[in-house]
Amino acid sequence: MYYIGIDIGGMSIKGGLVTQDGSILLKKTIVTGVDKKDRDIVLDIAALINDIISEYKIKKEDIKGIGIGSPGSVYDEKGIIRYCCNIPFRNTEIVKILKNELGINNIFVSNDANCACLGETMFGAAKGHKNTILMTLGTGVGTGFIVDGKLLTGFKSAGAEGGHIQINIGGKECGCGKKGHLEAYASAKALMQQIDEACIKNPDSLLNKLKEKEGLDGKIVFEAAKEGCKTAKSVLKKYIKYLGMGLVTLANVFFPEVIIIGGGVSNAGDDLIKPLQRYVSRNIYGSEFNPKIKVMAAELKNDAGIIGAACLAM
Amino acid sequence: MYYIGIDIGGMSIKGGLVTQDGSILLKKTIVTGVDKKDRDIVLDIAALINDIISEYKIKKEDIKGIGIGSPGSVYDEKGIIRYCCNIPFRNTEIVKILKNELGINNIFVSNDANCACLGETMFGAAKGHKNTILMTLGTGVGTGFIVDGKLLTGFKSAGAEGGHIQINIGGKECGCGKKGHLEAYASAKALMQQIDEACIKNPDSLLNKLKEKEGLDGKIVFEAAKEGCKTAKSVLKKYIKYLGMGLVTLANVFFPEVIIIGGGVSNAGDDLIKPLQRYVSRNIYGSEFNPKIKVMAAELKNDAGIIGAACLAM
């Protein structure tokens, strides 16, 4: 039996044929038609799924289920993508359209961070755990929560917006328009702003030299800090504090067994994870009598979207 | 069939005989023996339960279950009170001891805010809802969360500490020793500090006059604000903002149907609830496409502890 996972992004839509144990047998990618009508994008996805099935020479009846991960606001139970920033989904009945087009019934949709959290919990860094927080650091801050083995979605799937927790009264403006949200301090985009500001103030720093040589990218701050650059170390220290505060806030409420960090910034590996682990262990509520929470980098990397989406149907 | 709910507090322990529909038939109270050994306090509770059973002239077999709500850190699944500030519970096996003493098997323990949340969801302000946040404002800030009809406790029951979410970088010191936690801004104790500070700065204000006449109490700020006192209005505006920020942070993650406010401060009723409702509706993430969250005062009041605890066994 096979599953299909669809990972919708602003640039491309990836589809994969996934086994029961989370391996990808075949992957295909199409360009996201952001200029098309929402229904036509869904028809593109149906064609992508048909392509995968015919290329692997299996039948529709061999597909046990299909899962779709989408950015934006998704109403899981109704199979609707409510709203998406960069793709013209507006209350798009994606599950209904796909069921009609494909004649396959077991189809589910959820937010992409939810899918990644599910994927990491079933087949990645959090395997074997029943309580997980996943945080992906990209343009924004996405979060997913597994509570007692079940995905948390909130009333009408409106929850799990952990990027929009308030960490600073009257602080920086967030992408959503409100002030002081975690996303404004801890996203990859925020880190780049913090690097940029530090470079302007410290033009002679190694950090600024790396920026001029390699361009503005999150990874240069880790490189420069390793070489002893004080400016980079100071940027990183503050960033870890912001990110750590957000994680501690969420962990004090959920108390997961594992916190998984995904997105490009997590490629820094131990240089990010070790100081974050120290911050969380030191600042978690009741550290003297509560179990320790492990902080880890995501494992599924580029395939997280496809595998995580497929997990929705498992 | 009957249930028994036990509400443990630092001053007294209340016990009640509760029906399947959440009515209390009989209530009894004993003094909490804070100078005793933990086991002896549990034996006092066993005696209280026996008293209730004999006074109502029923048999042990008529008791379908017993629930206990305790302050502090409770390990629900193991039936242990890990730690409590004001009562000498330290890894106290309360469920095991009570089962042995009473010969009754269906006994459960949880944190008191969890019990209150369960009680309000089954029989109080949140009746009929499956996703609830409860916040009690007292010396500290207690929270309980119902997710898809189930109490959230976190790994080894260490979670649901919503008073210890970070709302202000490097802010006021919290009772737990960390800085900037919601509890340091939004507890009843914090409100009284805010009133006190405002009175010192504005000795001619009506607020200060009420303070001198009635003593320092949360309710004077609502009284003075109603009479048009600018000092009181300013204190209240800030307090609503702090409290609202905490609620919005939690609501963006859980997206409940209802938020219930309990504790002494909630007696202010609409004077507290209406501005809080406005704050939450205005600041919630995705207010343009997400469902509205209702903010309400707790309904069970003084009986919340007993009824909520009994709910653990239902």
pLDDT of A289 above 90: no
Spatial CA neighbour of A283 closest among A297, A269, A293:
A293
pLDDT of A49 above 90: yes
Average pLDDT over residues A220-232: 97
List of chain B residues whose C-beta atoms are within 8 Å of the C-beta of residue A152:
147, 254
A and B: number of Cβ contacts within 8 A: 140
User: Cβ separation of A160 and B285 shorter than 8 Å?
Assistant: no
- Distance between CA atoms of residues B286 and A98, nearest Å: 26
The predicted pLDDT at position A286 comes to 87
| DSSP element (H, E) containing B14 | strand B12-19
Which residue type occupies B39? R
List of chain A residues whose C-beta atoms are within 8 Å of the C-beta of residue B169:
167-168, 171, 241-242, 245
The predicted pLDDT at position B277 comes to 98
Average pLDDT over residues A190-195: 97
Q: Partners of A173 in the beta sheet?
A: A179
Average pLDDT over residues A258-282: 96
Spatial CA neighbour of A131 closest among A279, A268, A290:
A290
Nearest CB to A249 within list B160, B166, B256? B166
Cα nearest neighbour of B282 on chain A: A178
Specify the range with the lowest mean pLDDT, choosing from A85-89, A142-146, A202-206: A85-89
The predicted pLDDT at position A139 comes to 87
Q: Give 10-residue mean pLDDT values along chain B (314 residues).
A: 95 97 97 95 98 97 97 95 90 98 97 96 96 94 95 94 91 90 95 97 97 94 97 98 97 97 94 97 90 96 93 96
Min Cα separation A244/chain B (Å): 10
| DSSP element (H, E) containing B235 | helix B230-254
Query: Taking the CA of residue A292 as centre, how many other CA atoms within 13 Å lie in the half-sphere pointing to its CB?
Result: 8
List of chain B residues whose C-beta atoms are within 8 Å of the C-beta of residue A178:
283, 285
> CA A213, A214, A220, A225: dihedral to nearest 10 degrees?
-20
Q: Is the overall model pTM greater than 0.90, yes or no?
A: yes
The predicted pLDDT at position A302 comes to 84
Residue A149 falls in which region: left (phi positive, over 0), alpha (psi -120 to 50) or beta: left
The predicted pLDDT at position B219 comes to 93
**In this structure, is the dihedral angle defined by the CA atoms of residues B290, A158, B149 and A96, taken in order, positive or negative?**
positive
User: pLDDT of A66-116, one tens digit each?
Assistant: 999 999 999 999 999 998 888 999 999 999 999 999 999 999 999 999 999
Min Cα separation B259/chain A (Å): 12
The predicted pLDDT at position A301 comes to 86
User: Look-up: residue for tokens 């501690």?
Assistant: A248
Helices B206-214, B188-201: crossing angle, 10 deg rounding? 120
Q: Which of B82, B92, B145, B165 to mutate to test the interface with A (most CBs of A within 10 A)?
A: B165
The 3-class SS string of chain A reads CEEEEEEECCCEEEEEEECCCCCEEEEEEEECCCCCCHHHHHHHHHHHHHHHHHHCCCCHHHEEEEEEEECCEEEHHHCEEEECCCCCCEEECHHHHHHHHHCCCCEEEEEHHHHHHHHHHHHCCCCCCCCEEEEEECCCEEEEEEECCEECCCHHHCCCCHHHCECECCCCECCCCCECECHHHHCHHHHHHHHHHHHHHCCCCHHHHHHHHHCCCCHHHHHHHHCCCHHHHHHHHHHHHHHHHHHHHHHHHHCCCEEEEECHHHHHCHHHHHHHHHHHHHHCCCCCCCCCCEEEECCCHHHHHHHHHHHCCC
- Quickly count: other Cβ atoms within 10 Å of residue A43's Cβ: 16
User: Cβ separation of B290 and A248 shorter than 8 Å?
Assistant: no
Could you tell me how many residues make up chain A?
Answer: 314
Mean pLDDT, chain A, rounded, equals: 95
User: Cβ separation of B286 and A158 shorter than 8 Å?
Assistant: yes
Whole-Å CA distances, B230 to B44, B201, B215, B277? 50, 13, 19, 22
Confidence band, pLDDT 50/70/90 cuts, at residue A22: very high
Complex ipTM more than 0.90, yes or no: yes
Min Cα separation A139/chain B (Å): 17
pLDDT of A287 above 90: no
Which residue type occupies B3? Y
Min Cα separation A8/chain B (Å): 21
Min Cα separation B97/chain A (Å): 22
Q: Partners of A65 in the beta sheet?
A: A3
Nearest CB to A285 within list B164, B250, B252? B164
User: Cβ separation of B143 and A253 shorter than 8 Å?
Assistant: yes
List of chain B residues whose C-beta atoms are within 8 Å of the C-beta of residue A71:
none
Q: Are B130 and B149 in contact (CB under 8 A)?
A: yes
List of chain A residues whose C-beta atoms are within 8 Å of the C-beta of residue B73:
286, 289-290
User: Cβ separation of A255 and B158 shorter than 8 Å?
Assistant: yes
Spatial CA neighbour of A71 closest among A121, A36, A113:
A113
Min Cα separation A28/chain B (Å): 33
Distant-in-sequence, close-in-space partners of A54: CB < 8 Å, separation ≥ 6: none
Which residue type occupies A18? V
- Distance between CA atoms of residues A227 and A207, nearest Å: 10
Nearest CB to B285 within list A164, A252, A286? A164
User: Cβ separation of B165 and A161 shorter than 8 Å?
Assistant: no
User: Cβ separation of B165 and A252 shorter than 8 Å?
Assistant: yes
User: Cβ separation of B152 and A254 shorter than 8 Å?
Assistant: yes
User: Cβ separation of A253 and B166 shorter than 8 Å?
Assistant: no
Spatial CA neighbour of B161 closest among B149, B148, B178:
B178
